[in-house]
Chain A
Amino acid sequence: MTPFTLSEPQRHLEAQIRWQPVELAFWLATLLPFVFAPNYLVLASQIAITALFALSLDLILGYAGIVSLGHAAYFGFGSYTAGLIAKWGWGEPLTGLAAAAVAAGVLGYATSFIIARFRHLALIMITLGLGLLLAEAANSAGWLTGGADGLQGVRMWKLFGAFQFDLYGTTAYTYSLTILFLAFLLARRLINSPFGLALRGIRENAVRMPAIGAPSPAHIRKIYTIAAVMAGVAGGLLAQTTETVSLETLGFARSADVLVILILGGAGRLYGGLVGAIIYMVARDQFSGINPQYWYFWIGTLLIAVVLFLPNGVLGGLTRLMRLVRSAA
């Protein structure tokens, strides 16, 4: 063995924590829509929100291996919390968003005790069931949620008392992008911490982790709650920037969509959800603009192509390509 054996893992970890130029380029690129596509800011803000939601799923699915088909429960819970607070007369965005985060976090913490007991297939059933239960509860509580018609009367105040949520979506995008960036910094810090390493350990072998002194259930509860908070923030953002909340925010379709987005981008990579959200939402927008009736066909084709040729998502494919180029050079 080489004399570097001991410091190798540490160096590897440090290399991962360092900011790569491509990361800086990515975040700078998120500012481009302001200059080059000012008519696309509404779409951009919804992409940022979806990206945040996908990032939250990535934390549990990609890093801790918790498969979830009911992640929209926390998204919707945050959405309704933010929406209801605004409806009841407190339209200040930041505090509303904080309330959405807390509410979703409490729900996430409560359900995390069930989640931490199961793995794999059982988890799919349980998360699906929890999601459906919450959606049906919201449907029945029409007096509170507005039922199938959606929540009415959500009115937001100006952000910082100065920036109104406008038709062009400038405020909405700035707001969503900033929150996404902050959440991303948090996720990045988490994933690169010893806690993040423990999560990856759980993903690889959940039984072995307690044997080496890392309590899996406690870690799962922690990350699940954090992911729920993040999903709640994403939901709150959607409620605030669109001033609408509907049952669909809790629905199965949203849980499935976000899963598809994450797989498309590449699960277990911080940028997977972000890249997936951009590709999926832009493709949807373009396909449905060109052909409003049969656009799902093209979305399906895109997904099949990605799964066939890029089994680790778009980012996985890119990484492989980089490696090929490097080894050839």
Chain B
Amino acid sequence: MNWTRMGVSCAVALFVSASCAYAQGTVKIGLINVLSGQFADAGIQLDNGVKTYMKQHGDTVAGKKIEIIRRDVGGPAPDVAKRFAQELVVRDGVDVLAGFLLTPNALAAADVSAQAKKFMVVMNAATSVIITKSPYMIRTSVTLPQVMETFGAWAAKNGLKKCYTMVTDYGPGHDSEAAFQRAFKEAGGDIVGSVRFPVANPDFSAFVQRAKDVNPECIFIFIPGGAQPAALGKAFAERGIDFSKTKVLGSGETTAEQALKAMGDAGLGLISAWHYDYKSKVPLNVEFVKVFNEMHGRNPDFFSIGGYDGMHAIYEALKKTGGNTDGDALIAAAKGLKWESPRGPMSIDADTRDVVQTIYIRRVEKVGGELVNVPFDKVENVKDPTRARGG
């Protein structure tokens, strides 16, 4: 089936020597994602978000049928991602490039978007700088500084003056550490110490003891999800850190659904900042979670919401252009888009094309026997601070 489709599109390309668009009534979206290997689960959750949106809103917009062409990069492999982007543009004739779970892949494909003038939607990759690489790009996920600087400033403004930071020794860990420390210090706080632990670290007691020795008012942590949050939670309990006296601040990944289940009651009282939680009571989210569960048999996470809102941005931009898929038209339509998402109100910044959204400050509490991130404060209309500084 694929062979014939390829044959058709290529025969067209040979004669027209332009794109392979064989049907006027179709908008093709090339979804460059990671569906195999170590990052497969995250990629599949992103894809599930895309599927859920199309189930809820149909596959026709502005009189055109939406066709998704999926590609699996298999991990952080920019050379493969770039090739897929090139092939999707020249061979499959896609109108929109979307997906992008991982930063290196998004950065590589951005070149193609800029060169071919194709609208590009980054649905997850969270490194600040990506958005500057193509003038046809928007982002619908989150940026790390957006959350971490907001969190740092919030902590300092809420009476915490002495903080200790503990992060995993890898890219996102370094970025989070830098962002939190920067904003915390700018808002008048004092970093009393910091430590980085190895990526595959089984035991955190020594690190936690070191933090306890300097007696900070708060400890900022950033560790990837999985088994590690549980091990860290255990170390906090063992070393006698009382979460009501010493505030422990983490990212949304540290207190995500699976991590909380693994941590159990050791996680009670953890404070985190994040842009999405599947437990949110907003009606839009309740509906989203319901449909998502019916379709995929599990709860959505922040990968899913990135894919979901990415599709929304594409649909809305297409509506505004009346189905015109020209890169310039689509990006013009997408700039300044505002909508209600299951995560809350969000928009696309008209200048930077990056995501603007509410960051929620939540505390882990027990609600009906279940550990839940309960939001108790929020910061609205947060832009990516790196770009706002002109960096």
Do the beta carbons of B171 and A242 come within 8 Å of each other?
A: no
Instruction: Give the CA-CA distance A259 to B358 in the complex, in Å.
Output: 49
In the complex, identify which listed stretch (B51-59, B78-86, B230-238, B288-296) lies at the interface while the others stay far away. Answer: B78-86
Do the beta carbons of B14 and A150 come within 8 Å of each other?
A: no
Do the beta carbons of B104 and A242 come within 8 Å of each other?
A: no
**Which residues of chain B come closer than 8 Å to A295, judged between CB atoms?**
36, 72
Closest beta carbon of chain A to B355's beta carbon, Å: 19
Q: Is A133 an interface residue (CB 8 A)?
A: no
Counting chain A CB atoms within 10 Å of each CB, the highest count among B40, B129, B171 belongs to B171
Instruction: Give the CA-CA distance A290 to B33 in the complex, in Å.
Output: 15
Say which size band chain B's interface belongs to. Answer: 35 or more
Classify the interface of chain A: helix, strand, loop or mixed: helix
**Which residues of chain A come closer than 8 Å to B266, judged between CB atoms?**
none
**Which residues of chain B come closer than 8 Å to A168, judged between CB atoms?**
86, 90
Instruction: Give the CA-CA distance A296 to B87 in the complex, in Å.
Output: 20
Do the beta carbons of A150 and B91 come within 8 Å of each other?
A: no
Tell me the residues in window 249-303 of chain A with beta carbons closer than 8 Å to chain B beta carbons: 249, 253, 286, 288-290, 292-296
Q: Is B386 an interface residue (CB 8 A)?
A: no
Do the beta carbons of B76 and A167 come within 8 Å of each other?
A: no
Counting chain B CB atoms within 10 Å of each CB, the highest count among A39, A238, A248, A290 belongs to A39
A-B contact count (CB 8 A): 101
Tell me the residues in window 145-170 of chain A with beta carbons closer than 8 Å to chain B beta carbons: 147-150, 152, 167-169
Q: Which of A149, A167, A249, A286 has a CB less than 8 Å from the CB of B116?
A: A167
The 8 A CB mask of A168-207 against B (1 = contact, 0 = none) is 1100000000000000000000000000000000000000
**Given known contacts A42-B87, A167-B89, A246-B78, is B104 in contact with A148 (CB within 8 Å)?**
yes
**Which residues of chain A come closer than 8 Å to B35, judged between CB atoms?**
292-293
**Given known contacts A167-B89, A167-B90, A248-B76, is B171 in contact with A148 (CB within 8 Å)?**
yes
Do the beta carbons of B78 and A150 come within 8 Å of each other?
A: yes
**Which residues of chain A come closer than 8 Å to B191, judged between CB atoms?**
none
**Given known contacts A242-B78, A244-B104, A246-B104, is B115 in contact with A167 (CB within 8 Å)?**
yes
Q: Which of B14, B83, B116 has a CB less than 8 Å from the CB of A46?
A: B83
**Which residues of chain B come closer than 8 Å to A246, judged between CB atoms?**
76-79, 104
Say which size band chain A's interface belongs to. Answer: 35 or more
| CB-nearest residue of chain B to A285 | B87
Counting chain B CB atoms within 10 Å of each CB, the highest count among A37, A40, A46, A288 belongs to A288
Do the beta carbons of B90 and A39 come within 8 Å of each other?
A: yes
Q: Which of A37, A43, A46, A247 has a CB less than 8 Å from the CB of B76?
A: A247
Q: Is B339 an interface residue (CB 8 A)?
A: no
Tell me the residues in window 25-63 of chain A with beta carbons closer than 8 Å to chain B beta carbons: 37-40, 42-43, 46
Q: Which of A148, A242, A292 has a CB less than 8 Å from the CB of B79?
A: A242
Do the beta carbons of A149 and B127 come within 8 Å of each other?
A: yes
Closest beta carbon of chain B to A291's beta carbon, Å: 9
Do the beta carbons of A39 and B10 come within 8 Å of each other?
A: yes
Classify the interface of chain B: helix, strand, loop or mixed: helix
| CB-nearest residue of chain B to A155 | B111
**Given known contacts A39-B13, A149-B171, is B78 in contact with A292 (CB within 8 Å)?**
no
| CB-nearest residue of chain A to B133 | A152
Instruction: Give the CA-CA distance A43 to B14 in the complex, in Å.
Output: 17
**Which residues of chain B come closer than 8 Å to A293, judged between CB atoms?**
35-36, 40, 44, 72
Closest beta carbon of chain B to A109's beta carbon, Å: 27
Do the beta carbons of A150 and B104 come within 8 Å of each other?
A: yes
Q: Is B22 an interface residue (CB 8 A)?
A: no
The 8 A CB mask of B64-77 against A (1 = contact, 0 = none) is 00000011100111
Instruction: Give the CA-CA distance A244 to B1 in the complex, in Å.
Output: 33
Do the beta carbons of A292 and B70 come within 8 Å of each other?
A: yes
**Given known contacts A286-B2, A292-B70, is B103 in contact with A148 (CB within 8 Å)?**
yes
Q: Which of A46, A238, A243, A296 has a CB less than 8 Å from the CB of B36?
A: A296
Do the beta carbons of B83 and A38 come within 8 Å of each other?
A: no
10 closest A-B pairs by CB: A244-B78, A39-B91, A150-B104, A148-B171, A292-B72, A292-B70, A242-B79, A244-B108, A293-B35, A42-B86
Q: Chain B: residues with CB nearer than 8 A to chain A?
A: 1-2, 9-10, 13-14, 20, 33, 35-36, 40, 44, 70-72, 75-79, 82-83, 86-87, 89-91, 103-104, 107-108, 111-112, 115-116, 127, 129, 170-171, 174
Given A246-B77, A246-B104, 4 more A-B residue pairs with CB atoms under 8 Å apart are A150-B76, A152-B129, A242-B79, A248-B75
Q: Chain A: residues with CB nearer than 8 A to chain B?
A: 37-40, 42-43, 46, 142, 147-150, 152, 167-169, 238, 242-249, 253, 286, 288-290, 292-296
What are 18 inter-chain pairs, A to B, with CB distance below 8 A? Answer: A39-B9, A42-B90, A142-B174, A148-B103, A148-B171, A152-B129, A167-B115, A238-B79, A244-B78, A244-B79, A245-B78, A253-B75, A286-B2, A288-B71, A289-B2, A290-B1, A293-B35, A293-B36
